[in-house]
Each structure stands twice: as C-alpha cells, then as structure tokens.
Amino acid sequence: MTAGLLTPRVLRSLLPALSLAVLLVAIFYLQPRAMSYFGINLLLNLAVPIALATLAQMFILTVNDLDLSIGSFVSFVACIAATWLSEMPLLGILALLGCILVYALLGALIYLRDLPSIVVTLGMSFVWLGLSVLLLPTPGGTAPGWLQALMKLKTPLVPFCVIAAIVIGLVVHLGLMRSAHGAVLRGAGGNPKAVARAGWSLLRIKVTMFALAGCFGVLAGLALVGLTTSADANIALRYTLLSIAGVILGGGEFVGGRVSPIGAVIGAMTLTLAGSFLSFLRLSPDWQIGAQGAILILVLALRMLINRAEARR
Amino acid sequence: MAAEPAWQRLLAQPWLWSYLAAASVWAATIAFTQGQGGGQVLTAAFTFAAFFVIVGIGQMFVVTLGPGNVDLSIPATMTLAGTLAMRIMDGHEALILPGLALALGCGVVIGAINYGLIRALRIPPIIATLSSSFLIQSTAIWYNRGIRIKPPPALAEFATAQVAGVPVLAVGVILLTVLMHVLLTRTRYGRAVLAIGQNQRAAGLAGIPVDRIRLGTYMLCATLAGLCGYVQAGFAGGAALNMGEEYLLASIAVVVIGGTSVAGGNANVPGLWGAALFLFLLVTMLNTFGLGAGIRLVMTGIIIIAVIIAASGRQRAR
C-alpha cells in the first residue's frame, strides 16, 4: 500500500524536508533543551537572511545564470542599512532601490551582449565589496530601530524565524510555481526559444528575474543587519557559496528552469543547522564548512539513488 | 585564408587583446611615475602573474570541456597541498622533492574525487567541486591548526630568485605554458578535450574515451592547483589558510580574459599570460594612482566587466 504513495517522484520532493527533519531530530536528541521556543529561535535565527539570499540565487539559476556576487551584494546592503538607512532614511531607501536597478540592468546587459554571467557577477562582487569598504571602512554602524524590532519580534507559540521562513517560501512558491506568469519565467530557463516564439520578450524575463534577485538580496541584507545590529564589508561573503548549495540541496537544478522555492528555503535552513549540529556533537568548529559539504554530498547521493530507482521502473 | 595579410591574421588572434590591455595599463602606470620603477613593476608582475597562470592553465582545460565545467575547489586544493607539504618538509631541505610529490599527489587525489563525485552522483561540476572544496578546506583548517611552518630555505630561495631582474619562477612557468600549449594543440589528449568541449556526444560517438579524458582533465587541474599551493607557500614563507582566496576569481578571470571561450571547445594558452599580467598590473596601476582600497576594488570590477564586454563584441564580429 505504501508503495503506491512512496513513488520516487514523491520521495524526491520530500527529500529536502526529510533531511532537515533528520538533522533537527538529531539535534533535539543530543540536546533536548534545544527543543524550545528559545532554542529553536537561537538555532534558526540566521536562517532567515540565508534563505532570502538563497531565493535570490534561485531566481538567477532559473534563467540558467549564476550569481557569484550575491554574498558581497548582501554585505553592501547591510552596510547601507547600518549607515544611511538609519541616519538619512530617504537616501538609504533610494540607494537600496538603486541597487535593485543595477541588478535589473545587469540582467539586460548579460542578455543583450550574451555575456557569461559567472564573469560579470565576479566583476560585480569586486564592485559591491569596494562600495562597502568605501561606505564602512571599519566594522560598525547601527541598524535602524524598526529593523531590529522586526527581527526580534516575539510571536506567540512559534518563533518569528520559523514563521518568516514559511511565509517567504510560500509567497515565492505561489508566485513562481503556481501562477501563469511564473510558468513563463521558468519556461525561459527550460526552453528559451519556445518561450520567445510564443511571443514573450526574453529580455524582459531576464530583467525581471535579476530585479527579483536584487529585491531578495536587499531583503537578505536588511534581515541580516536587523539580527546583527551592526555591519561589516565582509559580513555575508560566504553567502555566495551557501546560496548555491542551498538551492541545489532544495532540489533545484543548474539548467532547465527546474527550481523549488520551498526546497530552497529548507536547503538554507539545513545548511544553517549543519554548523550547530557539530557543536552539539562537540566536534571542533574546524569541521563546520566540511559538514556542510558532507551533507550536500549525502543528499545528492540519495537523490541520485531515487532517480535510479525511478529509471528502473 | 592564405591571401590574408599578416597583420589581419594577427588582429584575429584572441590573445592579442589581453596583451594590449596589459601593455596599456603598464604604460599608464609608468606615465604616472614619469618613467620610474617600470622595470621593478614588470618583475613583480611576472612573479605574481606566474601563480595566476599555473592555476589558470588547469582551469582553462576544465572550462574547455564544455558548458558548466568549472573547478571551484582550486583555492581549497592550494591551501591543503601547501599546508601538507610545509608540515611534512618541516624546513628540511632533503625533503623538498618528497614535499613536492606530496603536493602534486594531493592534487591528483582531489581531482579524482572531484570527477568521481561528478560521475557517480551525476551532479554539475560546479556543485561537485563546491562540496568537495568545503571538505578540503575543513581538512586544511584541521591539519594546519594555525601554525605557520617556514619552507625549507632552498625552496624559498628558488621561489623568490631573480636573475638580472627576471624572476626564475616566471621562466619556469613560461616553459610550463609552452608545454601545455603543445599538450593542448598537438596531442591526442588536447584534441580530445577540444572535441568534447565542442560536442560531447559527437566526441563519444567518434570513439573518444570521454570519461577518461574528463577524469584526466580534472586531475590535471587539481594537480596544477597543488603545484601552485606548494610554490606559493615557498614564496610567501609558509602556508596560510587564506592563501587560495583570491585564486578562485583569478583562475576564472584569467581564462576568460585570455580569450578562452566560456562555452567550451575553444582554448587559448598564450592569452593566459596576457590576462594574468593585466590583472596584476591593473591593481598596481590603481595603487600607484594612490587610490583607496574601496575605489581600487570598484575600478577592478568595472574594468573586468568592460574587458568582457569588449571581448564579446570581438567574438561577435568574427
């Protein structure tokens, strides 16, 4: 009877959630006190900005590009938020809107000149880092009060970070996976020629996806600085690789517009927990990034086994 | 084809632009200092460009295998190889060659693991090399323990030696470059890499052992990264955990600016040197102008993007 329910297809879509659940259960087993409102909040706080950055990366991957600058972009947004946004709110808001505009223009540039996105975004990572250094030469600044208040919101029963992650995942899921427009956007990654022949502007699609990535990058930076209260030019550099890993962990693929927003959020949470898991095992923090790599390989191996089972049918 | 004048054929060379860019950046630097220190700048440029070129060659072979092929584990491999070799040699000159063998062997093993992951898990190379780099970096952190062990004096001397202002290391790497150019253009292996990059399916049907060639290429790339880590640790007086940091970007930028196609199947070895010199001289120029770190980074990024835009226009025109 279960054989009918547990088809490889179902298994594959459940895999990200299952790996997160296994990790959570393992942590709760090692440290039962983590299974509380406070404990979960502490464990998953930083997952919110990482999840937002992962979704930004997912939008870019949907149209078969790759963003190697998202980490330095999130850092730059954090720097703006910790300086201009709290001192001169209007200038801060304009600067953030300008950032999104730059992302949209990058999308247009990459499409029109048919440039390799890897190299363009590598170049942009220098630009964002340089701008952050100019704005905030030494770590510091203060996040605006409202941002700190929002990120430290005490919601009843379920911690804010969990609610935020669920809401973010669902909103993007509805927009990208369930709407007609979302299908076109994803189609541009799957078969650009067909989408173009059907009368859609590939330029507009590319610009939309890059602008969305810019938006989510801005949100990630704001969420991050709301938690840390001060910023630093290098604060989020590791988000670049984490966001790619998160998308893939959540079931996304590099080509063909095959992505999963909910999976990406779960992937980001899994990677965030991987570090804490080690400290509960009392292993040296030296292995923290190693654990993230190991989990990535493990989940991908499981997915491959499921795919193989599917092919055998 | 034969009727084409020589200058036209020269202009069509994809490597030409990286050398022109490097030369103009150098000229701008010298113009600013009114002719002072031009030679020293060149000496330094050749030394640092040599490191970029070592990893650039490996990355170029990998990129040439076709879309999606890229090795993100180069920085981690460099760090692990450098750390391992320095710790085993522990400053003893007798162990210089075993240390080198260890660094290279480290690369061979990592390359095999990388391709093993790509093949066994059927995942894109970016993800395979990304996950393995996490593990490799962790191993290096764990093994290094923050201790900086000095390289054997003879190795440090070799890595920093100059003869009449010409860095010995750069000469060695130029020889390596020539060797790799021959490997790419004159051997069955090199032709096979190009063929796979142009059309993997067609190459397979034509009887090229695609798997073996790709495995060999990932091993070559990681081995060169190991070599770079070894020499770099010798040059810098020890292995540091962040020694590979800037090489991820540099290895990719050098390949693309040097005229190799990101879509694969079209590689260019001479362009690597032009691009590596350009990257170093660009930073030197911005330093000479007395600009702050922030402006320098922004300018570097903008110029890299500008070069890519110019290069894409050139490819379109042909």
Q: With 60 as the cut, is the pLDDT of residue A279 above it?
A: yes
Q: Which range (A184-193, A277-286, B236-245) has the least confidence?
A: A277-286
Cβ–Cβ below 8 Å for A123 and B294: no
CB-based contact (8 Å) between A131 and chain B? yes
The residue-averaged pLDDT of B144-163 equals 85
Query: Which of A218-232, A273-287, A293-307, B288-302 is the most confident on average?
Result: A218-232
CA angle, B95 then B98 then B100, to 5°: 105
Find, in chain B, the residue whose alpha carbon is nearest to that of A64.
B68
Contacts of A128 in chain B (CB under 8 A): 301
Provide the residue type at A223 as one letter: A
Examine residue B3 and state whether it is found in any structural domain, yes or no.
no
Cβ–Cβ below 8 Å for B127 and A130: no
Residue A31: band (very low, low, confident or very high) from pLDDT cuts 50, 70, 90: confident
> How many beta-carbon pairs under 8 angstroms link A with B?
139
Position A3 scores a pLDDT of 53
Cβ–Cβ below 8 Å for A130 and B293: yes
Express each pLDDT in A144-174 by its tens digit: 989 998 888 888 888 888 999 999 999 999 9
Q: Which long-range contacts (CB under 8 A, 24 or more apart) does A276-280 make?
A: A276/A27, A276/A43, A277/A23, A277/A26, A277/A27, A277/A30, A280/A27, A280/A30, A280/A31, A280/A34
Position A241 scores a pLDDT of 85
* Average pLDDT of chain A, as a whole number: 89
| Nearest CA distance, B153 vs chain A (angstrom) | 30
Give the Cα separation of A220 and A151 in Å (integer).
12
Tell me which residues of chain A, numbers 191 to 220, contact chain B at a CB-CB cutoff of 8 Å.
none
Examine residue B179 and state whether it is found in any structural domain, yes or no.
yes
Position B73 scores a pLDDT of 93
Residue B39: band (very low, low, confident or very high) from pLDDT cuts 50, 70, 90: confident
| Nearest CA distance, A152 vs chain B (angstrom) | 31
Residue A266: band (very low, low, confident or very high) from pLDDT cuts 50, 70, 90: very high
Cβ–Cβ below 8 Å for A288 and B256: no
Cβ–Cβ below 8 Å for A245 and B249: no
Position B304 scores a pLDDT of 83
Examine residue B240 and state whether it is found in any structural domain, yes or no.
yes
Give the Cα separation of B262 and A205 in Å (integer).
23
Position A303 scores a pLDDT of 85
Examine residue B265 and state whether it is found in any structural domain, yes or no.
yes
Position B259 scores a pLDDT of 84
Find, in chain A, the residue whose alpha carbon is nearest to that of B140.
A286
Q: With 90 as the cut, is the pLDDT of residue A38 above it?
A: no
Q: Which of B110, B119, B127, B132 to mutate to test the interface with A (most CBs of A within 10 A)?
A: B127
Domain assignment of residue B213, given as a range: 15-28+37-317
Cβ–Cβ below 8 Å for A126 and B300: yes
Cβ–Cβ below 8 Å for B135 and A290: yes
User: What ipTM is given for this predicted complex?
Assistant: 0.84
The residue-averaged pLDDT of B156-182 equals 92
Give the Cα separation of B160 and B82 in Å (integer).
16
Position B1 scores a pLDDT of 45
Position A61 scores a pLDDT of 92
Position A118 scores a pLDDT of 83
Q: With 50 as the cut, is the pLDDT of residue B318 above it?
A: no
Q: Which of B60, B62, B123 to mutate to test the interface with A (most CBs of A within 10 A)?
A: B123
Cβ–Cβ below 8 Å for B294 and A304: no
Residue B190: band (very low, low, confident or very high) from pLDDT cuts 50, 70, 90: very high
The residue-averaged pLDDT of A1-30 equals 80
Find, in chain A, the residue whose alpha carbon is nearest to that of B133.
A293
Q: With 80 as the cut, is the pLDDT of residue A232 above it?
A: yes
Give the Cα separation of A266 and A165 in Å (integer).
8
Position A15 scores a pLDDT of 87
Examine residue B76 and state whether it is found in any structural domain, yes or no.
yes
Express each pLDDT in A170-196 by its tens digit: 999 999 889 888 888 898 888 888 888
Examine residue B145 and state whether it is found in any structural domain, yes or no.
yes
CATH number at B100 reads: 1.10.3470
Position B250 scores a pLDDT of 86
* Average pLDDT of chain B, as a whole number: 88
Q: Which range (A64-73, A231-240, A254-263, B105-114) has the least confidence?
A: A254-263
Q: Which residues of B lie inside 8 Å of A (Cβ-Cβ)?
A: 68, 70, 72, 117, 120-124, 126-127, 130-135, 137-139, 141-142, 249, 252-253, 256, 262, 292-302, 304-305, 308-309, 312-313, 316
The residue-averaged pLDDT of B176-202 equals 94
Phi, psi of A35 (to 5 degrees): -85, 60
Burial of A202 (0-12, 13-18, 19+ CB in 10 A): middle
Residue B33 CB: number of other CB atoms within 10 A? 11
Cβ–Cβ below 8 Å for A116 and B308: yes
Q: With 50 as the cut, is the pLDDT of residue B20 above it?
A: yes
Examine residue B300 and state whether it is found in any structural domain, yes or no.
yes
Q: With 80 as the cut, is the pLDDT of residue A255 above it?
A: no
Cβ–Cβ below 8 Å for B134 and A248: no
Position B317 scores a pLDDT of 43
Position A207 scores a pLDDT of 96
| Nearest CA distance, B114 vs chain A (angstrom) | 11
Q: With 70 as the cut, is the pLDDT of residue A125 above it?
A: yes
Position B143 scores a pLDDT of 87
What's the number of domains chain B is made of? 1
Q: Which of B121, B139, B142, B303 to mutate to test the interface with A (most CBs of A within 10 A)?
A: B121
Where does residue A274 fall: left (phi above 0), alpha (psi -120 to 50 degrees), or beta otherwise?
alpha
Cβ–Cβ below 8 Å for B70 and A118: yes
Position B47 scores a pLDDT of 92
Q: Which range (A152-166, A228-242, A274-288) has the least confidence?
A: A274-288
| Nearest CA distance, A252 vs chain B (angstrom) | 11
Position A70 scores a pLDDT of 96
| Nearest CA distance, B161 vs chain A (angstrom) | 32
Contacts of A102 in chain B (CB under 8 A): none
Examine residue B4 and state whether it is found in any structural domain, yes or no.
no
Smallest CA-to-CA distance from B153 within B97, B80, B235, B232 is with: B235
A50: its two tokens: 């990482």
Give the Cα separation of A190 and A291 in Å (integer).
32
Express each pLDDT in B272-312 by its tens digit: 999 999 989 988 888 888 888 899 889 888 988 887 887 76
CB-based contact (8 Å) between A114 and chain B? yes
Distances (CA, A) of B151 to A111, B51, B91, B235: 48, 17, 5, 9
